Amino acid sequence: MKARDTMFIGFTLFALFFGAGNLIYPVTLGIESGTSYLPAIIGFVLTGVGLPIITVAAISLVRNGAVQLAGRVHPMFGLLFTAMVYLVIGPFFAIPRAANVAFETGIAPFTHTKSLALLLFTVLFFIIVYWLSRNPSKLVDRVGQILTPTLFLAILGLVLGSFFMLEGTIQPAEEKYQAQPFFTGFVEGYLTMDAIASLAFGIIVVSSFRERGVTDPKALTIRTLKAGIVTAIGLTSVYVTIGWIGAKMATEGSYDNGSAILAGAARLMFGDLGMILLGIIVGLACLTTCIGLTVACGQFFSKHIPGLSYNHVIMVVTLISFGISNIGLNQIIAYSVPVLVFVYPITIVLVALTFMSRLFNHSPYVYRGAVFFTALIGLYDGLVAFGADMSSLEPLVSQLPLFELNLSWIFPAIFGGFIGLLIQQFKGQPRHKERFQNS
List, for residues 378-395, the tens digit of each pLDDT value: 999 889 888 888 888 989
pLDDT above 70 for 435: no
The pLDDT mean for the chain works out to 84
pLDDT above 60 for 198: yes
Kindly state whether residues 312 and 362 are assigned to the same domain.
no
Q: For residue 437, what pLDDT is reported?
A: 43
Q: For residue 137, what pLDDT is reported?
A: 66
- The whole-number average pLDDT for the span 116-140 is 86
**52 or 66, which is more confident?**
52
Distance (Å, whole) CA 269 – CA 262: 11
Domain that includes residue 416, residue range: 330-439
> Looking at 69-78, 84-93, 151-160, 374-383, which range is the least confident one?
151-160
Q: Is 259 exposed, middle or buried (0-12, 13-18, 19+ CB in 10 A)?
A: buried
pLDDT above 70 for 318: yes
- In three-state secondary structure terms, 178 is coil
Q: For residue 349, what pLDDT is reported?
A: 93
Kindly state whether residues 286 and 415 are assigned to the same domain.
no
Last residue of a domain, one of 287, 310, 326: 326
Q: For residue 81, what pLDDT is reported?
A: 92
Kindly state whether residues 321 and 334 are assigned to the same domain.
no
**129 or 280, which is more confident?**
129
Kindly state whether residues 279 and 410 are assigned to the same domain.
no
Last residue of a domain, one of 299, 326, 353: 326
Binned at pLDDT 50, 70 and 90, residue 47 comes out as confident
pLDDT above 60 for 439: no
Kindly state whether residues 284 and 365 are assigned to the same domain.
no
Q: For residue 135, what pLDDT is reported?
A: 79
Last residue of a domain, one of 290, 305, 326: 326
Residue type, 90: G
**Model pTM above 0.75:** yes
Q: What is the CA radius of gyration of the chain?
A: 22
pLDDT above 90 for 122: yes
Q: Would you list the DSSP string of 382-398?
A: HHHHHT---TTTHHHHT
Q: For residue 148, what pLDDT is reported?
A: 66
Q: How many CB atoms lie within 10 A of CB 106?
A: 21
Distance (Å, whole) CA 239 – CA 180: 20
**What pLDDT digit, counting tens, does each position of 130-171 carry?**
998 887 766 555 565 666 677 777 777 777 877 777 777 888
Q: What is the CATH number of the domain that holds 62?
A: 1.20.1740.10
Q: For residue 379, what pLDDT is reported?
A: 93
Kindly state whether residues 291 and 353 are assigned to the same domain.
no
Q: What are the two backbone dihedrals, phi and then psi, of residue 190, each rounded to the nearest 5 degrees?
A: -65, -30
Q: For residue 164, what pLDDT is reported?
A: 76
| Close Cβ partners of 293 (under 8 Å, ≥ 6 residues apart) | 16, 89, 90, 94, 95, 197, 200
Binned at pLDDT 50, 70 and 90, residue 429 comes out as low
Kindly state whether residues 305 and 224 are assigned to the same domain.
yes
- The whole-number average pLDDT for the span 404-408 is 79
Q: For residue 436, what pLDDT is reported?
A: 46
Kindly state whether residues 266 and 397 are assigned to the same domain.
no
Q: For residue 36, what pLDDT is reported?
A: 93
**188 or 53, which is more confident?**
53
**What pLDDT digit, counting tens, does each position of 339-370 carry?**
878 888 898 899 889 888 888 888 899 999 99
Residue type, 336: S
Which of the 8 DSSP states describes residue 28? Answer: H
- The whole-number average pLDDT for the span 276-297 is 84
Kindly state whether residues 289 and 395 are assigned to the same domain.
no
Can you give the three-state secondary structure of 128-175, one letter per residue?
HHHHHHCCHHHHHHHHHHHHHHHHHHHHHHHHHHHHHHCCCCCCCCCH
Which of the 8 DSSP states describes residue 362? Answer: T
CB 130 within 8 A of CB 264: no
Kindly state whether residues 22 and 161 are assigned to the same domain.
yes
Q: How many domains, in total, are found in the chain?
A: 2
Kindly state whether residues 265 and 334 are assigned to the same domain.
no
Kindly state whether residues 352 and 315 are assigned to the same domain.
no
